[in-house]
Amino acid sequence: MTLDINILSRSVFFLTACHLMQPLFASDAVDKVIFQPHPASYQTSLTGLSEVRAADGTTLALIHLPNNNAQQTVFYFHGNAEDLGDCLPVLKQLQSAGFAVLAFDYRGYGRSTGQPEEGNVYADTKVVLAHAKVNFGVTSERLLVVGRSLGGGPAVELAMREPVAGLILVSAFQSVARMAPGVKLAPDRFDNLTKIVHVRAPILIIHGTADEVVPFAQGQALFAAASEPKRAVWLEGVKHNNVFATASDRFLSELKNFAKNFPPGKEAPLRACFAGHEDSQANPLAHRTFRRFALRGSGGVWLDWLGADDLSATVGVI
């Protein structure tokens, strides 16, 4: 997907504006800095386009791209200064890769009405998901949640609250305040670093090492905070807005492998046993609920973690 210079400059503006904010900003002023929608890039004839109404009457534009052979649905949350029209090439690639696809425009973006703010992004996510469950047969357990940049916020929030199949973050930040050291936000916005600790779904984090908008260190910090099972893919020399333009094949390959290794399934309660320690204090993985996948071995059961070649653990069923 190719993004024009206006989208790039708006993304850079987001980072620059955060650094220029006064120590304490009013809530509405912060929202105006965080959210940078542009005029809708698409018409009502856009492939797969429909709409749903929030409880307050706000119109939310959404896309659903079905796939009769799909085992999972990708719920895609786009970045700042983007809308569904900008993302359609990526959404179609995901559909062609074997997934059904769901996405929507935040308030004020594309053909969605209203004014965007963190709280209504989360609330509208619930509205769209509820609509998709009723009308498209989507289930949380078969949902791969993908969040790019700003979209990492609602993606992490959803994965923290729903039993999704997996969370995938692309060029995501830790939080708005952590993007601008020294700026005091009361409260912080999109605190992904704090929330990702509570995500129990498998996690895939993708970030360009040359990201000039969301520094590479932000992706590294999210990966460090995330619980197993997790995998990191660092794209050497890739910037913020050219992940899909320069590494779409790698992205799709990683996503398909991730989905294959963590297929939708019933969560099995397993207790990890390391060096004879079975209590939760000696072993932080004890008493955790692990997603069922690839159990093998003899004389015991082995649990294989994707992306952690040095970690295999003997487990006992509770």
> For this structure, is 149 an active site residue?
yes
Active-site residue among 86, 105, 191, 211? Answer: 211
* Separation between Cα atoms, residue 201 and residue 117, nearest integer Å: 26
Residue 168: alpha-carbon gap to chain centroid: 5
* Helix pair angle (27-34, 5-20), 10° resolution: 150
Look at strands 166-170 and 49-53 and give their pairing. Answer: unpaired
Q: How far apart are CA 142 and CA 132, in angstroms?
A: 12
Distances (CA, A) of 84 to 25, 45, 71, 204: 30, 12, 23, 23
- Of 78, 131, 207, 240, the catalytic one is 240
Tokens matching residue 175: 């939080």
Residue 17 Cα distances to 10, 178, 192, angstroms: 10, 13, 20
Q: Over the Cα atoms of the chain, what is R_g?
A: 20
Q: How far apart are CA 16 and CA 33, in angstroms?
A: 10
Residue pair 129/62 in contact by the 8 Å Cβ criterion: no
Choose, from 149, 171, 175, 207, the residue flagged as catalytic. 149
Identify the CA nearest to 247 among candidates 233, 260, 258. Answer: 233
- Residue 273 to residue 282: CA distance in whole angstroms: 10
DSSP string, 57-99: S-EEEEEEE--TT-S-EEEEE--TT--HHHHHHHHHHHHHTT-
Interatomic CA distance for residues 104 and 51, integer angstroms: 9
Active site residues: 149, 211, 240
